[in-house]
Structure 1
Amino acid sequence: MTTVNTTHPSPPQQGTELVVEIETLTSSAEGLARHQGQAVFIPGLLPGESARVSIQKSARDYLRANPLQILKGSATRKRPECPYHHAPDADGQFPNTLSCGGCQLQISNREQELDFKRQSVGEILSRIGHLEVEVQPVVAGHPFHYRNKMALSLTSHDGQLAWGLRSSESNSATVPLATCEIAGLDLWKAAGQILQVLNQDMGPSLMWNGQEGIIRGATIRSHTGRISPPRTSQDRAETQPARVVLFAVATHNSDILIRLRDALKVIPDLHVHFSYSDPRANAVYYDRAQFLHVRTNKTTCWTEANFKEENCCWHTTGPWSTLAGPTTFLQVNDEMAAQLYSRVLNLPFEGSGFAVDAYCGVGILTRALLGRFDEVMGIELDTQSIKLARTTSRRLQDCRVEWVAEASEAVFGRVGKGPERTIHSKPDLVILDPPRKGCQQEVLRALLEPKLSDVVLYQPPGRTGA
């Protein structure tokens, strides 16, 4: 009688060193290798490279590891522009220091990076959508200093406050940054000015360290302003270029926050906002139900984010402008956003009667569709975004878009049905730019029912960075 051994080898434990070969990159640009059938995810490595790695996490179905040394490098590898990027020295050794996890592919030459992104889109369409289509080459802009928005952590370095980003080796560690190669130049200048004031005013005591402090993080955005039409007496928002900082704070002590806001007034064209961020939560977040509001009589309260026009800024992408509040979603790369909108508008649509933008946000592309379609509708669940979209239309003196503050699946479920129908006829075009979690099944089912002529979906397939 033959006995078959069905036991599986024990997975390697934390700290175990292995030699692996990278097969491909994941959608988040990590190297993917295999060890005894298990997937091993390793940052900082490229396809075709073999490396010595150290196991950091051993799960049932996968392993996570950090690279120690590249044994065989890729011909597409290059030195990153950023000094904090996850990269080895000239001998292939990875330094025993934390590296920035803000972007992943500065180690690859540009051609290979763009081809990886093209392949990622094709694989997603094939694996998830079961669509075998030819994916065109990626349209690329400048790879550095393109971001108009950065979410930064506050940390300390040499006894001073410093901005930082999460480490690629640990979710709980922050890497202090003196510079950032993907941040827009105006944005990073504002970040430096803000940091200087924070250090002069209160210093490291401002930083939330897990037990005490005030600031958990900040989001900084650089707004480009509005070129036309010229500012009028009706405008209440800033039409010139401006910067916005939204602090995530671990306190409801409004007195100290007002002191901080007043100290930051020395920075020209800077708009300051505070949102409570529960310090018991692991992740830094911005609670839109708890924004610090300063009344005209100088008293304060914590209330739902309700951004009046005077608390907003204008942002222009290509020829299109919009009002934006401190939590408004905008594309972070203005150069590529302008190209994206232009390419959508130049697609050979079958009809030109009725277009619907199903997740319109503040409606930049929605208003742009007026150049191609007779009727345009923008749908957005976030009432603040719809409010800003309507105000933008009035200030731009073009109110032809119908704005609907409701869930897209509910609106599409009423296409041409009964007296409560929102969409009176079948759209010729539907634009889909859903949030990160994607389209709800209800939306997809509703889109299938009217058998639309054209649907445009644009959504980044993963987080690959510069």
Structure 2
Amino acid sequence: MAQFYSANRRVATQQTLNVTCHDLDGFGQGVARHQGKTIFIPGLLPGEQAEVRITEDQRQFSRGRVTKRLNDSPQRVTPRCPHYGVCGGCQQQHISQQLQQRSKAATLRSLLTRETGAAIGDVVSVGADAYGYRRRARLGLEYRQKSRALAMGYRQARSSDVVDITRCPILAGGLEQLLAPLKELLAGLRAVKRLGHVELVMADNGPLVVLRHLDALAGEDRQRLLDFASRRRVMMWLAAGGDSLECLWGEPPVYQIDDLRLQFSPRDFIQVNDEVNRRMVALALEWLEPGADERVLDLFCGMGNFTLPLAKRCGQVIGVEGVAALVANGQYNAQQNLLSNVTFFHDNLEEDVAAKSWADRGFDKILLDPARAGALGVMSHIAAWSPRRIVYVSCNPTTLARDSKVLMASGYVPARVAMLDMFPHSGHLESMTLFLKDSGVCAK
């Protein structure tokens, strides 16, 4: 319902328009124009015409919903998920993967150009199969007293309600196959009314389940979980509260990157999309060009996703991370992979790091992979260290643009940009940018 205002009273009037979609925004919403005003319309694709009901009318833009689509774009595809449109996990399964990637790359290029004023060239798209890619997921558990049934799934779009799912085509196959038997198991526990959520992880050495339970589990429930885990070869971990984790059955999970074997805790951050992560690491190494006699710094390094592959190629690598558990895992994985030229440090990179022991001299090259808040606290130090190459991996293009300005003010230019399609069918936009010190030097 569009809202129209006067000085004396508020008037609500319904308005229906016929519009033609001409673009997608960064979240996959259709973009149309009517009488000079932009209208954002979920579910509409470029080239499609539709009758649209205005649901929100602001001074600069409006929002609408499709009441009748008049034609179909060639880029419209049939979603594979039976829960699509209700479940809030995906927003773009009706869009072909090619159009999703083009739209995200165009959005990234437009935002960086607008915010930094830099001449951004072609944006490389790094993607993989749009289905069966997700190796980590958290599913809500909700016991419904009225039906006396357990619901297990993602949150509903624009709601906190759990959508009871039977399938999830974006999950790695081994995890999707667990959905039905796992729900049946949990529904039969005595503690079914006091379960919080379940986390699924597909490690390279098998599937893993972390069950969050609110009360201590009875011996009967523990035995059922143990029997399920051993029968199906599923690593089973229990989380009673806080940071506590108990391995009920199985071994520590691992994943491989660049022929390295990395062990991690079930709650450690790992990239959700295994194949895109592999391609991202390979591209970062190509862009950074680490040399055997060089000193490389990896900031926000986690447990060594980039750090350890770098250590195979250069003289010395310093990894800095703000989460102590990840630092410990990084050190352990370096030892297990016989890499003696890498050192991990636990430091808060939002604070002044100038006096830190690892920052006592310059670095030849730097890689950083911050969280959504970006890396503003350390950008001036990076510029002062004056490395020849910087690779910035970002999960938020807005903070990437902000931080890029600091580097550009010190003479760096964005030489290459890649859109990393880490989360197909969603509006998440990840990217990687190569910065070079000399504007006259082109990347190889």
Establish whether TM, by shorter chain, passes 0.5. yes
Hey, what's the Cα distance between the residues in 2 that align with 1:132 and 1:12?
A: 46
Question: What residue is the counterpart of 2:262 in the other structure?
Answer: 322
Matched, 1:254 2:253: no
Hey, what's the Cα distance between the residues in 2 that align with 1:403 and 1:48?
A: 52
Hey, what's the Cα distance between the residues in 2 that align with 1:261 and 1:399?
A: 42
Matched, 1:422 2:358: yes
Alpha carbons of 1:129 and 1:311: their partners in 2 closer, same or farther (altered >3 Å)? farther
Give the match's secondary structure for 1:68: strand
Matched, 1:264 2:225: yes
Alpha carbons of 1:221 and 1:124: their partners in 2 closer, same or farther (altered >3 Å)? same
Alpha carbons of 1:62 and 1:165: their partners in 2 closer, same or farther (altered >3 Å)? farther
Hey, what's the Cα distance between the residues in 2 that align with 1:458 and 1:164?
A: 30
Letter in 2 for 1:136: V
Equivalent of residue 384 in structure 1, options 318, 325, 338: 325
Question: What residue is the counterpart of 1:29 in the other structure?
Answer: 28
Letter in 1 for 2:365: L
Deviation of the 1:78 alpha carbon: 1.9
Aligned residues: CA RMSD: 3.4
Preserved contact between residue 350 and residue 454 of structure 1 (Cα < 8 Å): no
Preserved contact between residue 353 and residue 373 of structure 1 (Cα < 8 Å): yes
Deviation of the 1:11 alpha carbon: 8.8
Unaligned runs of 5+ in 1: 1-5, 87-98, 207-212, 226-240, 277-289, 299-309, 415-419
Deviation of the 1:363 alpha carbon: 0.7
Matched, 1:363 2:298: no
Alpha carbons of 1:446 and 1:79: their partners in 2 closer, same or farther (altered >3 Å)? same
Preserved contact between residue 14 and residue 55 of structure 1 (Cα < 8 Å): no
Hey, what's the Cα distance between the residues in 2 that align with 1:14 and 1:271?
A: 55
Question: What residue is the counterpart of 1:163 in the other structure?
Answer: 152
Question: What residue is the counterpart of 1:172 in the other structure?
Answer: 160
Alpha carbons of 1:189 and 1:18: their partners in 2 closer, same or farther (altered >3 Å)? same
Deviation of the 1:182 alpha carbon: 0.5
Equivalent of residue 124 in structure 1, options 102, 111, 119: 111
Letter in 2 for 1:29: G
Question: What residue is the counterpart of 1:449 in the other structure?
Answer: 384
The number of equivalent residue pairs is: 389
Give the match's secondary structure for 1:142: coil
Alpha carbons of 1:30 and 1:195: their partners in 2 closer, same or farther (altered >3 Å)? same
Give the match's secondary structure for 1:448: helix
Alpha carbons of 1:316 and 1:411: their partners in 2 closer, same or farther (altered >3 Å)? farther
Aligned-residue identity in percent: 22
Preserved contact between residue 371 and residue 395 of structure 2 (Cα < 8 Å): no
Q: How does 1:302-321 map to 2 (within 5 A)?
A: 312-321=252-261
Hey, what's the Cα distance between the residues in 2 that align with 1:9 and 1:44?
A: 36
Hey, what's the Cα distance between the residues in 1 that align with 2:176 and 2:183?
A: 10
1:338-395 CA-to-partner distances (Å, cap 9, x unmatched) read: 1111111122638651111101001121010012210001000000110111122222
Q: How does 1:376-415 map to 2 (within 5 A)?
A: 376-410=317-351, 412-414=353-355
Give the match's secondary structure for 2:394: coil
Alpha carbons of 1:154 and 1:22: their partners in 2 closer, same or farther (altered >3 Å)? farther
Higher relative contact order (CA 8 A, sep 6+): 2
Question: What residue is the counterpart of 2:182 in the other structure?
Answer: 194
Q: Please say which of residues 372-381 and 51-60 is displaced more in the overlay.
A: 51-60
Hey, what's the Cα distance between the residues in 1 that align with 2:34 and 2:10?
A: 9
Matched, 1:291 2:291: no
Question: What residue is the counterpart of 1:217 in the other structure?
Answer: 197
Question: What residue is the counterpart of 1:149 in the other structure?
Answer: 136
Deviation of the 1:133 alpha carbon: 1.5
